[in-house]
A and B are shown apart, each in its own frame.
Chain A
Amino acid sequence: GQQLNQSPQSMFIQEGEDVSMNCTSSSIFNTWLWYKQDPGEGPVLLIALYKAGELTSNGRLTAQFGITRKDSFLNISASIPSDVGIYFCGPSARQLTFGSGTQLTVLP
């Protein structure tokens, strides 16, 4: 069956540091989405990637869709306290498949 691995599982960083997380899949996907979930709330779409190799930015966030369509990374630059939350990768075919999430903690 399809395997989706998201890493790291959790991160503790100092405010102002850059962050990088990634997802790899055993399957090829046409689209890759990145979401952030705050405690007790639904996920919010951060970035959507549609083309292999595509590099897209949204403010301090940058994400890239791997050439093989089996992986993606998300970078956050100059982290701030409100970046705290769980980040999910969501490769999509007919429906979304969620990674296990990366719990980000930003220390002041």
Chain B
Amino acid sequence: GAVVSQHPSWVICKSGTSVKIECRSLDFQATTMFWYRQFPKQSLMLMATSNEGSKATYEQGVEKDKFLINHASLTLSTLTVTSAHPEDSSFYICSARRQGSYVEQYFGPGTRLTVT
């Protein structure tokens, strides 16, 4: 159990366009989901925490108007990168915390975004 999927696994888009990334918990309900970005050879940096049915909490320095997060159900959270720029190119990873669990997070396989 505890499988998290992401779609798409990779995407290439042009500057100025928007890209939506989906994160789904497949076999459990997740009241809380997290979005991270990871640059090559670096650790994961938390971007935002989303709770089902409420607004996401963004980490300092992350633009909420640029990275739109929606957590519409207990199994789905989406991250939309709006007006993408080349510097937004990165590896985006989501994770989900199982409902009732205080700690353990399960990660999706990641989405490689390349903005040209």
Which residues of chain A have a CB within 8 Å of any CB of chain B?
A: 30-31, 33, 35, 40-45, 48, 50, 88, 92, 95-96, 98-101
Instruction: Determine the interface band of chain B, counting residues with CB < 8 A from chain A.
Output: 20 to 34
Among residues 93 to 116 in chain B, which have CB atoms less than 8 Å away from a CB atom of chain A?
93, 95, 102-110, 112
A48 neighbours in B (Cβ, 8 Å) = 103-104
Counted as pairs of residues, one from A and one from B, with CB atoms less than 8 Å apart, the total is 49
Q: CB < 8 Å: which of B34, B44, B104 contacts A33?
A: B104
Main secondary structure of the interface of B (DSSP, over half): strand
Chain A residues within an 8 Å CB radius of B45: 98
- Residue interface mask B29-59, A partner, CB < 8 A = 1: 0000010000000111110010000000000
Interfacial chain A residues near B74, Cβ < 8 Å? none
Any A CB within 8 A of the CB of B4: yes
Q: Are A42 and B110 in contact (CB under 8 A)?
A: yes
Task: Assess A95 versus B34: contact at CB under 8 Å? Given A41-B109, A42-B109, A43-B44.
Answer: yes
Tell me which of B102, B103, B106 has the highest count of chain A C-beta atoms within 10 A of its own C-beta: B103
CB < 8 Å neighbour of A42 from B42, B46, B95, B102: B95
Since A96-B34, A101-B43 are in contact, a sample of 8 more A-B pairs with Cβ atoms closer than 8 Å, ordered by chain A residue number, is A30-B103, A40-B112, A41-B110, A43-B93, A88-B43, A95-B34, A95-B49, A98-B45
- Residue contact B34 to A42, C-beta cutoff 8 Å: no
Q: Lowest 5 A-B CB distances belong to which pairs?
A: A42-B107, A31-B103, A98-B43, A43-B107, A42-B110
The residues in B between 67 and 100 inclusive whose CB is less than 8 angstroms from any CB of A are 91, 93, 95
Interface residues of chain B, those whose CB is within 8 Å of chain A, are: 4, 6, 34, 42-46, 49, 91, 93, 95, 102-110, 112
Are B107 and A44 in contact, CB atoms less than 8 angstroms apart? yes
**Contacts A40-B112, A42-B110, A88-B44: A96 and B4 contacting too (C-beta < 8 A)?**
no
- Contact check, B44 vs A98: say whether CB atoms are below 8 A apart: yes
Cross-chain pairs A/B with CB under 8 angstroms, 20 sampled: A30-B103, A33-B103, A33-B104, A33-B105, A40-B112, A41-B110, A42-B4, A42-B93, A42-B107, A42-B110, A43-B44, A44-B107, A45-B107, A48-B103, A48-B104, A92-B103, A96-B34, A96-B95, A98-B44, A101-B43
